[in-house]
Every structure is written in C-alpha cells, then in structure tokens.
Structure 1
Amino acid sequence: MRKRTIALGLAAALVAAGGGWYASLDKETRALLAAMPTDANVLSWKQDQRDAAFRAMDRLPVLAKARTFAPAPAPLALPAGKPLEIPGFDQYAAKQRLAGMVIIQDGKVRLERYGLGFDAKGRWTSFSVAKSFTSTLVGAAIKDGKIKSLDDKVSLYIPDLRGSAYDDVSVRQLLMMSSGVAWNEDYEDPNADVAKFNNAKPDPGVDATVSYLRKLPRAHPPGEVWHYNTGETNLIGVLVSSAVGKPLSAYMEEKIWQPAGMEQQGTWLLGATGHEIAGCCIQAATRDYARFGLFVLGGAGGMVPGDWFASATSKQKDIGEPGHGYGFQWWTNDDGSFAAQGIFGQGIFIDPKRKLVIASNADWTRATEGPEGEWREAFYRQVQELIDAGG
C-alpha cells in the first residue's frame, strides 16, 4: 500500500474541564478527551480518543492554537442530484470507520453520509489533505507576483535557510518533495526527524520548522530523488507567508476559502512559533472539503495561473508505483484523476473526466498501514465504473 504519511508531533496534554469549548462537547466526548494521554502524539492515541479528538482539534487550547478563516458571504450551493446507489456501501463505510463522505458529480450531491457521531455541521481534521491547499496557495502567490518563479531558490524567500542544504533547492523541487535533503519519516522510529522536529527547541528568533530543517545534511542532489517529507510542506507554508507578507490563514481566506464559497468557518492549527502547520491540520466540514474539490475542478476561479493545475495535479515525480505519481503536493493517477490524502482516512479524490469529487473523513484503525487504503482505491474505481455505466 502507498505510504501516505504525515507528521503530527503535537503534544497531547489535556487539562481538566474548563471553558465554554469544553462544556459545549457532549458527555461521552468530554470523558474521552479527559482520558487522553498527556505524553503522546496522535499516532499513539487510542481509537476512541481519536474519534473524539479529530472533531475537536481546534478546541483543545492546550494541544494547539489555531487561526480561523471566515465562510463566504454567499456559500456555493450544493444541489441534490440523482442518488448514487453503491452496492455494499454500508459495509464499506463501516470498514473505513467513515465519519463523513460527500460525493459530487457534475456539480450535484449524489451521496452524503456521516458516521461516528459526526455530522455536516462539524469540523474534522485534514491531516495531510492540507498539503494540497498549501500547494494551491503557492499558485496564488505566483499569480499575485509574490513568488516570481518556481525555479527561485527557497532561501530567497526564507533568508534563515542561507548556508544550509536548502541553498540549492528550488521552490519547484520543494513542491515535488525532491529537495534531496536528508529526512526520516519512519513513524515506528522515535528518533526519526518526523518524531523530533515539532518538539525541537527552535533557535532564537527563527521559525521552528526552519530552525530544524536548516541543520539537516544533503542526501541527494536537488531534484533527483522523490522522498516524502512533511517538514518541507511546513516549510512551504513559511515561504508563502513570507512572500505574501501575511499569515497563511489570512491568505487562505482571501484566495481559497471565500472564493470557493465555503459554508462554514475553517481553522488551521499553529506550530510552536506561530506559523500554520502547512503540511497538516486544517479543520473543516466535509462539505467544504468537497467544495475545495469543485474549486480545483473549476481552475480555482482564476486565483492561480491558468496552467497551474495542469502541472500541479500531473505526475512530476515517479514514486515507484505503477499508475501513480506525485505532482505539486498532490497524489496523481495515470488516468488523469488525482487526490489530496491524509492519515487515518482523510481524502479529496478528483476526477476531471467524470466531473467527480469524493471528499471523505474517517478514523482508520491505523494511520496508513492497514487495509483501508487499498479498499478506498477500489471504492474510487467502483464509483467511476458506476458513473460510466450511467449510474
């Protein structure tokens, strides 16, 4: 199975009841949150704790702070279409531990389901689905002239990287996860970079991500080897924020959230030094994740260059799996479809040929290594085949 992993090294410390955010949760959820470990990251949480926390990440002030983006004054309507009858769907949803799914085809909602006590009004965490939002903000910054070229060196926008292994890395190579800088994203290794970088003490006056990554050595020449690296997506977020001169969440509201017609407020968790965790941690309604898919299908309303998605969502780097590749922070398929994906079953699948968007949130039994990922790939194919058959 494709290893689609992201880092979330946030402390899981929780305090006793207090404040309106806590009182607003139901009794069962409060009990689960109160029992959450105080010395573990999300990958070690128990399943019932994840069920509770994934819908409340931005309401746990001891866990993390967050910035918000306001909904659109006139949300994009999602009219109902012909119901899509999917054989075996209930069994599939149960095996996926599905919290929410919205299937939109040709602009109309053909299926909408919820589980795990979640509903259309709640916000679920994105994990690495955020990477594709961050990529789109790079496109917006290109369109705005704030990033001059994808071939610019990243140290041009983040001077604190000068003299590091990133001196020779371009924005394009960062987007394609081919910087060549050494990085260990092994979640079973407590000494891996992915386990350490969020908790490392930053250098005085330097962003926490920049502080950690600028100390890493080079493993390959820039651009040669694809290697998944969540820390570098966080770095892209710092780069965009620096280039546009405003917080990433403010740029998100301006370039994506409101133009896409989002119906609910969204939030973005912040890292230790106040930057949005660009490789993770957007909280949104499942319907608004689906609206992002529609926004991308429509070319992002002119907020990015006209040829942006043709490059961003096509294979830029081979990942060693036939039929699949990696674009600019998007997983790509040779049939022209592509996806944003996050651990524990978060995803936005987009198929331009069929005008299809499938947004889903879940709490899988394991972050990436269980069977759910393969089942989801089969489900996507099943939906494509049903649409082709006139379903």
Structure 2
Amino acid sequence: METAYPVETIRKGTYVRPLPLAVRQISPRWTFDGREQGVEDYMAENRLSGVLVLKDGKILLERYGLGRKPEDRWTSFSVAKSVTSTLVGAAIQDGKIKSLDDVVTNYIPALKGSAYEGVTIRQLLTMSSGVRWNEDYTDPNSDVARAGTAFREPGQNPIVSYMSRLPRANTPGAKFTYNTGETDLVGVLVSTAVGKSLAEYASEKIWGPFGMERDGIWLTDTSGHERGGCCMSMTLRDYARFGLFVLEDGVARGQRILPEGWVKQATTPQIKNGAPPPGYGYFWWMRDDGGYEAVGIFGQSITTFPEDGLIIVTNAAWPTAGGANLYRARDAFVRAAHAAAKGM
C-alpha cells in the first residue's frame, strides 16, 4: 500500500514492548468441511501472509507466508477502524472530547444543516447515524467507492464534503448500517479535536508509549488526511501489540492512555447488528464465544478472548474481499487456536 498510495507515518518510540516466545508452542489441528487441517494447510489454501497467537503477552504461534518476513508491514483495511475508535478514547482521556453524547457538528461544523445535524459521536461509533449509505465493494458507484474522491472543495475535507450531501434514511440510533465513510468522519473528528494528525496522535498515544517495533503507515485521502476507516500498515507483531494494548485496558508502562472503563464499553455490545455475531461495540465486532475482534476485508483480523488473555492475529490476501466460506475457514482456525491455547 505504502508504495502505491500517499501515506503518513506513525512514528515508533525508542522503547519496544517485548513479546517473548512461550516455553511451549501450539500447533492446532482441526476439521473443516469434513477434512483435517493444520496451520500450514489453512495458510496456503487461504493466502495468509501471517498468523500469530499471543497468550499472556507471550507468543504461542507465529507463522509467515506469501514471502513475507517478520519486519514486513501488511495493510489492515478495516482493522484501522478499531484503532480510530481507540483514539476517541484517548481524546476523551485528554479532555479534548467532552462526551460521546456530544453532537458531531460541534467538532465538524461543515456538517451543520446536513443529515448529520443532531447525530452524536456515540451514534457514529455504533454505525447508527441513520444516514443513507451503500458499502457494496463490487459496485463502482457505491458510496464506499466514491467517498473521498467525488468532491474537492477549497478548504474542505473530501470525506466531509461527500458525507454532508447524503440523505437521512433512519432515525439516529435506531439501526446499525455498516459505514466506512462514518469511520473516516470519526478520524476527522479526532484530529480536529486534538489539533494533530491521526498519525501523530497514534504515535503519541500508542506507538511510542506501548512500544511498537516499527513505524506504522496510514493511508491518506486526497486532501492528505488519514482515512479513519481504512488502511494502516504494520508488522504482524505490532498488530498483536495493538491487541495487547487494548487487552491491558489502554495502560502503557503505567500511564493510563484510555479512560478507565473505556475498553469494556468499546468491546461489549452497544447495538444489535442484525445477524450473528451478537452485536457491535465502538468499531469492534462481538463473537458468540466471549471474544471481540477487529476485522478487515481480504482476511485481516485481531481476535481477543479477554478471559483467557489471548490474542489471535491473521493477515491475508484473500482472492475476494470477503465471502461466507472464507470467513468460515478463518473462524475455524480461530476456534482451533483458542482451544489449543486455553490448555497452555
């Protein structure tokens, strides 16, 4: 991504959070569609570039594919949404955002008079603004394909410009509608509130204090603003470190970065999303087995089981953005890794 598109850099600090190898490693095997499978089979058949299983901060399993090396970054797609919502928490802790019940137009005045009038930050974080949106990745005329490129007004962020023209379809807070454009809006809201770019703020609040091993990369829109809903790049271990930062309640080396209780709110159901899994938090998906996860198209995920201190990361180049069988295969791997790790 960083060689093909404009990006900003999320600078790491001097400290690197160690992720030591556990004394015993796992090598789960499971049955999928009537056939026994192992990690290498799953990775080869589903074009995985990396999998990592972390328990209590120690690596139980780490594998690479597609020619990737441990120092190589890989794009997140929508896993970035969960980073963006985490930065909302940091901005609340810093006193830059007063409340999730503040209306969005307090922070993005250009949305005044639009369908976002009266919509709260909480409703953006739960994808329930009520504004009409089409997230069809196969349709070149869908909102997700056009947002950020259709309009360029002097002094106006293109995402804000595009979103301000959309009509309302539902009462705010009433219905979940998956909406990448609104996660981009949250990114604009955060950077406006803190007076810094998202990359700079992520460096200050996560990359530096928690100890990422390599600079991260964040894709920008046509105005040079980072996309709050997409496309960060980081190493496999840094994906795991971000999961660990959240699992450890947003505390980095004794410094509280996120408000106490924020992670619990963000990673438990705040709205029903119409189908299993059983709900959606603040840009985090809920699972039916006690876990929560950040998910991106083409096979990116950070799955956390907080009761077990367990984090499972996948990076992939699936042949399509999604698909029932691809998600079923990923879920089978996650459940097998969870079962194997619980006994460690």
TM-score clears 0.5: yes
SS at match of 1:241: helix
CA distance in 1, matches of 2:68, 2:337: 23
> Where do 5+ consecutive residues of structure 1 fail to align?
1-56
Matched ranges for 1:230-309 at <5 A: 230-301=180-251, 302-309=256-263
193-202 or 335-344, which deviates more:
193-202
CA distance in 2, matches of 1:359, 1:259: 21
Tell me, yes or no, if the aligned pair for 1:153 and 1:169 is still in contact at 8 Å.
Answer: yes
> Where do 5+ consecutive residues of structure 2 fail to align?
30-37
Structure 2 residue 331 is matched with structure 1 residue 387:
no
Residue type of the alignment partner of 2:295: Q
Per-residue CA distance 1:49-87 (angstroms, 9 max, x = gap) = xxxxxxxx1122xxx211112223120011110111212
> Deviation of residue 336 (structure 1)?
2.8
Tell me, yes or no, if the aligned pair for 1:95 and 1:372 is still in contact at 8 Å.
Answer: no
Per-residue CA distance 1:229-252 (angstroms, 9 max, x = gap) = 000000000000000001111000
Structure 2 residue 12 is matched with structure 1 residue 58:
no
TM-score, normalised to structure 2's length? 0.94
> Deviation of residue 201 (structure 1)?
2.1
TM-score, normalised to structure 1's length? 0.83
CA distance in 2, matches of 1:206, 1:198: 11
SS at match of 1:90: helix
Structure 2 residue 51 is matched with structure 1 residue 101:
yes
Matched ranges for 1:294-373 at <5 A: 294-301=244-251, 302-369=256-323, 371-373=325-327
> Deviation of residue 156 (structure 1)?
0.2
> Deviation of residue 323 (structure 1)?
4.0
1:48 is aligned to none
1:74 is aligned to 15
CA distance in 2, matches of 1:93, 1:59: 25
Residue type of the alignment partner of 2:331: E
1:201 is aligned to 151
CA distance in 2, matches of 1:152, 1:138: 12
Higher helix share: 1
**Aligned residues: percent identity?**
51
SS at match of 1:310: helix
RMSD value over aligned CA atoms? 1.1
Q: How many corresponding residue pairs?
A: 331
SS at match of 1:371: helix
> Deviation of residue 322 (structure 1)?
3.5
CA distance in 2, matches of 1:318, 1:179: 14
Matched ranges for 1:74-223 at <5 A: 74-81=15-22, 82-87=24-29, 88-223=38-173
> Deviation of residue 192 (structure 1)?
1.3
CA distance in 1, matches of 2:270, 2:324: 27
CA distance in 1, matches of 2:149, 2:277: 37
Per-residue CA distance 1:100-152 (angstroms, 9 max, x = gap) = 11111111101110000011011111100000000000000011110000000
CA distance in 2, matches of 1:159, 1:176: 21
